[in-house]
Amino acid sequence: MIENIPIWINLLFLTTWLLTLGIFYYSNGRPKKLILAILVYSIIQSILAYIGFYQVLEGMPPRFALVIIPTIIFLIYGLLPRQQMWIIQNRNTKISTFLHVIRFPVEIVLWQLFIFKMVPELMTFEGRNFDILAGITAPIIGLLFLKNKIGKNIVLVWNFIGLGLILFILFNGIFSAELPIQQFGFEQPNRAVTYFPFILLPAVIVPIVIWTHLSDIIKLMRSDK
């Protein structure tokens, strides 16, 4: 864990992680095996981060590839034709829209990590990170959609915008980390994600957010529900 970081920051982040899993679980037909797999994966990544595995920068390929590669595999596998059918049958888009509220506390955590010099300013809402807008509007869009005050086309557009926001900050996060491909944030790199519990941001939370946007887009484009 990061030394000198107030405990409330760690607790806020862990609560956000749990909230992400909770909404993911209920919006996808309560898939027990899938949520168990995510929990086991979260524990493995947390242990690796806690023992300092990802803080070792030497060697090729970079150790952080053990976070990036599973994320890519998860996203590709989760959007295969068979999984798309599962999404259409099980996804409740009116609940899954609320999942994106977790992006608001994530932005608060990132802002605090910037203050403690663990992420660059560009990763915060004071820099290039506009993802907080998705977090602020998610409960509004979700509530209006739940009460049938807006149609699926508005939610679809909102999902495309939200997807663009999360992908933009994801690439900024990767390119500001202490990796061979680093392009930004040299004066204050993105170090926090190599520590527990913040490893769960790129390993679990961001992939779930991206997949939720993509799968909701698929569901909304193929179904009236």
With a cut of 50, list the residues of the chain below it in pLDDT: 225
Assess if residue 126 is contained within a domain: yes
Residues 172, 128 contacting (CB under 8 angstroms)? yes
Please tell me the distance from the alpha carbon of residue 193 to that of residue 128, in angstroms, as a whole number.
18
Assess if residue 58 is contained within a domain: yes
Please tell me the distance from the alpha carbon of residue 8 to that of residue 64, in angstroms, as a whole number.
26
* 3-class SS letters over 68-104: HHHHHHHHHHCCCHHHHHHHHHHCCHHHHHHHHHHHH
Assess if residue 207 is contained within a domain: yes
64 lies in which domain range?
Answer: 7-222
Assess if residue 2 is contained within a domain: no
- pLDDT on residue 66: 92
Assess if residue 1 is contained within a domain: no
Assess if residue 198 is contained within a domain: yes
Question: How many structural domains are present in the chain?
Answer: 1
- pLDDT on residue 110: 93
- pLDDT on residue 62: 84
- pLDDT on residue 140: 96
Distance of CA 198 to the CA centre of its chain: 11
Report if pTM > 0.85.
Answer: yes
Please tell me the distance from the alpha carbon of residue 204 to that of residue 35, in angstroms, as a whole number.
11
